């Protein structure tokens, strides 16, 4: 697989998967309708806590790609 093929494949899949994530977040936002749903502040914190944790994890995979991790501790 050539570099160009890999780039095209990444662009195609990343675009599709990003759109899916955004669509899922929009649908989750529908749960904010307090006329239809009842929820607590604690539940909202749990939901967004896990979303933010996963987002940091995935972002870290991109930032660490191709880098040598050097850890230092005294």
User: What are the tens digits of pLDDT across the range 33-70?
Assistant: 999 999 999 999 999 999 999 999 999 999 877 666 66
Domain boundaries, the chain: 3-63
pLDDT tens track for 4-39: 999 999 999 999 999 999 999 999 999 999 999 999
70 — phi, psi (to 5°)?
A: -115, 120
The Cβ of residue 36 has, within 10 Å, a number of other Cβ atoms equal to: 8
What does the alpha-carbon distance between residue 42 and residue 8 come to, in Å, rounded to a whole number? 42
- Higher-confidence residue: 38 or 72? 38
Q: Tell me the two tokens of residue 57.
A: 């994890």
């Amino acid at each position: 697989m050539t570099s160009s093929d890999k780039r095209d494949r990444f662009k195609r899949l990343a675009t599709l998967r990003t759109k899916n994530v955004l669509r899922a977040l929009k649908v989750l936002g529908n749960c904010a309708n307090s006329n239809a749903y009842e929820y607590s502040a604690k539940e909202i914190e749990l939901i967004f806590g896990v979303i933010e944790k996963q987002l940091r994890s995935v972002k870290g995979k991109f930032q660490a790609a191709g880098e040598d991790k050097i850890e230092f501790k005294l």
